[in-house]
Amino acid sequence: MTEEKKSVPRHIGFIMDGNGRWAKAKNRPRSYGHKKGADVIEEVVDASFDHGVEAVSLYAFSTENWKRPKEEIGALFDLFLEYFISELDDLDKNNVCIRIMGDMSAFPEKMGRETDEAMYKTRNNTGLKLNIALNYGSRAEVVRACNALIERGKPIDEAELMNALYTAGLPDLDLVIRTAGEQRLSNFMLLQAAYAELVFTDVTFPELTDERYADCIREYQRRTRRFGAVTE
Ligand code: FPP
């Protein structure tokens, strides 16, 4: 059986962890860590394009993050809005196609308007596909997909299920990178990550540099992917 060529991952998922710890170590509020994290996203987008990655999925706000203090949630909302308002033109110029994954109905209306605008404006772009998970949980995504499919009233196959997820039309995740030392998926893209390589790095997300990102891709390239088959 031939091994998959050690190539650039087509689709990378990021569990952007450690913003709070990074800020705390600097005696700053957690929101300061999120702000720095948003700056790092810009670098990740540029570097992903340079590496030739097709799609990047970012875990920005999970269905479980509502349990956080109100002030932190508010600061995150402000940051998301600021990102969509201030970065949209540049992302569009750079041919980035934005997709939001998650239930936006729970967010303030303004955020829904900005994210709709971002998706609409960049819908025909053919460069990097940037998926941002907001109020996202993998289990909720599967339930949503199943409810949509149930209406057909007939058995479904795997391809139909995968096509009913937010990531319809995108390749499965090849690589999931989680920063800040924890080693779990935390309800992030569980079906899309079925055969993904998992790379955990101790650096917090705000500290992630182009070099550390490249190290994660190199670690992925050292792995042998067998997809359940055997190597000669
Ligand atoms: C987890 O770190 C991070 C988050 C819940 C938020 C991720 C958000 C960003 C990187 C900011 C902006 C995003 C966009 C799309 C503009 P944590 O706070 O749980 O870290 P900790 O484990 O150290 O507490």
Q: Is the pLDDT of residue 2 over 70?
A: no
pLDDT at 1 over 70: no
pLDDT at 25: 98
Residue 132 Cα: closest atom of ligand 1: 15
pLDDT confidence tier of residue 228, bands split at 50, 70 and 90: confident
| Ordered strands of the 197-200 beta sheet | 97-101, 129-136, 55-62, 11-15, 175-178, 197-200
Going by pLDDT thresholds of 50, 70 and 90, the confidence category of residue 231 is low
- 196 phi, psi to nearest 5 deg: -70, 150
Whether residue 172 lies in the annotated active site: no
| Ligand 1 centre distance from Cα of residue 208 (Å) | 13
CA 112 to chain centre: 18
Q: Ligand 1: which residues within 6 Å by Cβ?
A: 16-21, 30, 34, 37-38, 41, 58, 60, 65, 79-80, 83, 132, 180, 205
Spatial contact of 219 and 199, defined as CB atoms under 8 Å apart: yes
- Mean pLDDT of the region 109-125: 97
pTM summary value: 0.95
The answer, yes or no, to whether residue 225 has pLDDT greater than 90, is no
Site to probe by mutation for ligand 1, drawn from 15, 19, 205 as the one with most ligand atoms within 8 Å of Cβ, is: 19
Q: Is 187 a catalytic residue?
A: no
Tell me: the pLDDT tens digits for 3-26?
Answer: 445 699 999 999 999 999 999 999
Q: Whose CA is nearest to atom 7 of ligand 1?
A: 60
The single residue of 65, 94, 125, 163 carrying the catalytic annotation is 65
